[in-house]
Amino acid sequence: MPKTPFQRTIDREIPAKIEHEDEPCLVLHDLHPQAPVHLLIIPKKSIPASAKPPAPRS
């Protein structure tokens, strides 16, 4: 399966203005903001489908 644009951003293959990064997620500024501050929070762990969210972390 090819990488998504989000995974390519996490892997630093696509440039992004990163606001915050830690183990579970990456927070970056949207390329086409709809508000003065518009951030995207991307989980680093791939979630295969939104219909079945992963079990909560312990």
What does the pLDDT look like over 10-41, one tens digit per residue? 999 999 999 999 999 999 999 999 999 999 99
Greatest extent of the chain over all pairs of C-alpha atoms, in Å: 35
What b/e string do you get for 9-48 counting C-beta neighbours within 10 Å, with b at 16 or more?
A: bbeeeeebeeeeeeeeebebeeeeeeeeeeebebeeeeee
pLDDT reported for residue 9: 94
Residue 47 has pLDDT above 80, yes or no: no
Q: What is the pLDDT of residue 35?
A: 94
What's this model's pTM, rounded to 2 decimal places? 0.73
pLDDT level of residue 48 (50, 70, 90 thresholds)? confident
Confidence category of residue 50, pLDDT binned at 50, 70, 90 = low
Q: Are 58 and 42 in contact (CB under 8 A)?
A: no
